[in-house]
Chain A
């Protein structure tokens, strides 16, 4: 318990510490640096903000977007146009530029994000698509020429005469000094940093982390990952747009080269050099790269690009955790792990069934699924009611495939699936989970870098969407694992069997009406199987359970109804004893026919 507290405070402390150090260094720089260095350092903070927008996506969600400069550039242009037109009367350019920069960033990211995430594009395709989008933006802005009031966007000649950062309101007010600009950026950067840190700690951020670790499992928990990814993308776009607007005010000039490939690829460099996933890393990276190219560029024939290229290669090969990574690994040497890890005793007796959900009938109607020439599910009609049904059959019969068809992991080619009277044939995976279908796949699917407690928490949250209720449910379910003192253990430190149990408990946390289990006993000891059998028998009184299994002893201990599959089709049904005596079933198992 103490350890738990320490761990939690550690994280909080770490975040706050980083922010304090950031502010501290910033204030020192402000005091000692000359105006000129402050001016340049302001731009480094702006690039840091741009990098932050990518780190949110890449470091926290695993989405490498090479298109952050689109939001940055568009936000910049939008902010510049409003500033040019209204600053002479209103004064304050922050109000004029920043909100619209954010808005444009969010909007553009929403459109692109919808395209990517609702189109369910793979990781690589997403990256390439964002890269292609930058190219399109670049080619089009080179030729785009239009005058918005006082602001003349002149294609490659850019948008000039953008006013500087002005804080006061009214006409003819003076711009901020270099100190003022730097302090404004410092403030904005710190606020963004804190905001992102908080975001990651909220349930939203936790789901994002789950998506990064195992997006499939996250969806199996009932989260609409597309929505989460798109929202994060929009937040990231807004941050980039904000950065662009600030850049416009800083440099007084914008140009389509903002959308160039070189600029686009600088952003991942900032993130990598600083430390991916650390949120403060991009600022470190931007400052380092900015300072490096600045001092190197002073030499004529300066080969800054060459050096940066070499740095990138070396970083990727040897220092892929970046500067923060190096710092953290040194710091971690001083933080001891508080406990010794012991084996976990699974205590099924501690499981309190919530009476909030009851069984639902699940029925398939001529479901058909093929992959090219292979047909794993061939026009199967089956109905599952309360209690346990085991699906058995020889290897390759299509048992797992059938289960996947019921849960929606495989979209079907033909036929229908019904949940009670609801036609869920076209329902997405997460929607089916929300309707009450829970599935545990063959291999244990847990979030490896989360603790047991966090794993259970994120599953419970999916159902309740209420933090205090989730906390209570989590603590209850944690009792099965031996209580809170085991809760902190990370999932990847568990044995295979323990992970299987965690997976099962996570499914139960969803309080499903229909539970699909694909060889849940695989890799379990005899004692564990007995516990599992007990659990399933308890559950089968109030839920529908569909079980795929090979182990006949285990199956017999459940006294289930049985459906036998053979070569994708339904062979026969009955109770376990009938089926075991059935000569035909023996034939197909032994390959006699």
Chain B
């Protein structure tokens, strides 16, 4: 009797596993090339999240399968592999991209294919598209608390050092806007080409304008040279340095300890955050990947993205786009390593905590201040995808 019941059950199970299929998700990250310091961790976070989901029974009984490609830090590869994933592998959702340009390249593709796309990296802000969901922090979201803290701590005269493309120039705009709101003054700014290695002119300009602190947004370890030379000139004694992207690619390790010391960075995640979820997350990460380097915010952005998507699929009881997007727009909340995050229905951006951390002389950070539940105000004000579902653009603040 038992045996036949078991036989019945197992044949039912076999039958059901034949009936259910895998849900395919696509992943394109920079696993090689100059940007792989970000891409490898983003990819790991994705796999970690998917493994956990599958271990807990999958989504609606289906397992999640990852189809992944390496974009090799080249923009053309992003579009190439996204096309492969969409047209050939027929994925249900896409997790990809690091730079804003990669996101902008992918946005029209996923829009045409009508599948949800998750962008898991900090950036200058402003993306607005029914099919795009951003879990990274935006420039305005991070800069606001950083600026407030810096003007209170250091003073009201500011110098901006940023890379000379969108991320830098738009962040610069936000600095000026918040400076105005806080009654502070931008006494100088310098936007540097990414290929520059001579930072003396910038450092001299800084000294001439006598700021109380510098907002430094160096992109790529090449621009770390600025911080090295700034320190070598002995300027850190009198001028503070704040940033919203320092540490996003573990630049604090590439910097010499004396250069990294005292730099304050404001981001959505630092490994040093002390809460239960983060500790569990770090433990799982270390078991799976070891601990060769600190976990970066991009990894947590992707972790949050995968989990939010999984929640939406569970809520919608299907992995098909229309329902999943509706579920994503219903106000989902997730408890991630950086604290609670909310997917905002109107702008598809994340309400999340912003942490201020100060660099130590051991090439790591110490959390100084936590700003809870920061809303990306600019995105929320410009982008209402509930009222205007056909909106598809990248908003930039007017100069």
Contact = CB atoms under 8 A, between A and B. Distances in A.
Given A40-B83, A156-B165, A157-B394, A305 B100 contact: no
Contacts of B81: 297
A35 interface: yes
B100 A156 contact: yes
A157 B100 contact: yes
A263 B74 CA distance: 10
A162 B105 CA distance: 11
B311 interface: no
Contacts of B84: 36, 40
B390 interface: no
Contacts of A142: 164-165, 193-194
Nearest to A250: B79
Given A157-B394, A257-B75, A301 B80 contact: no
Interface in B1-58: 31-33, 43
B202 interface: no
Contacts of A145: 166, 396
B321 interface: no
A12 B153 CA distance: 80
Contacts of B165: 142-143, 155-156
Given A35-B87, A161-B108, A302-B31, A297 B101 contact: no
Interface stretch (B64-72, B139-147, B227-235, B252-260): B64-72
Interface residues of B, number: 41
A145 B104 CA distance: 15
A35 B169 CA distance: 41
Nearest to A301: B31
Residue from the set B69, B80, B101, B394 with the largest chain A CB neighbour count within 10 Å: B101
B195 interface: yes
A386 B179 CA distance: 87
Contacts of A86: none
A257 B72 contact: no
Interface string B288-317: 000000000000000000000000000000
B349 interface: no
A297 B77 contact: yes
B3 to A, nearest CB: 46
Q: Which of A142, A156, A252, A253 gathers the greatest number of chain B CB atoms within 10 Å?
A: A156
B100 A297 contact: no
B238 interface: no
B166 A156 contact: yes
B195 A301 contact: no
B156 interface: no
Interface in B94-121: 99-101, 104-105, 107-109, 112
B166 A157 contact: yes
A332 interface: no
Given A39-B87, A157-B100, A253-B108, A143 B169 contact: yes
Contacts of B194: 142
A160 B105 contact: yes
B217 to A, nearest CB: 14
Interface string A502-532: 0000000000000000000000000000000
22 contacts: A34-B88, A40-B84, A43-B80, A142-B165, A143-B164, A143-B169, A143-B191, A145-B166, A152-B393, A155-B169, A156-B165, A156-B166, A157-B100, A157-B104, A158-B104, A160-B394, A162-B108, A253-B104, A297-B81, A301-B32, A302-B72, A304-B72
Interface of B: 31-33, 43, 68-70, 72, 74-77, 79-81, 83-84, 87-88, 99-101, 104-105, 107-109, 112, 164-167, 169, 191, 193-195, 392-394, 396
Give the 3 A-B residue pairs with the shortest CB-CB distance, closest first.
Answer: A156-B165, A36-B87, A36-B88
Interface of A: 34-36, 39-40, 43, 139, 142-143, 145, 152, 154-158, 160-162, 251-253, 255, 257, 262-263, 294, 297-305
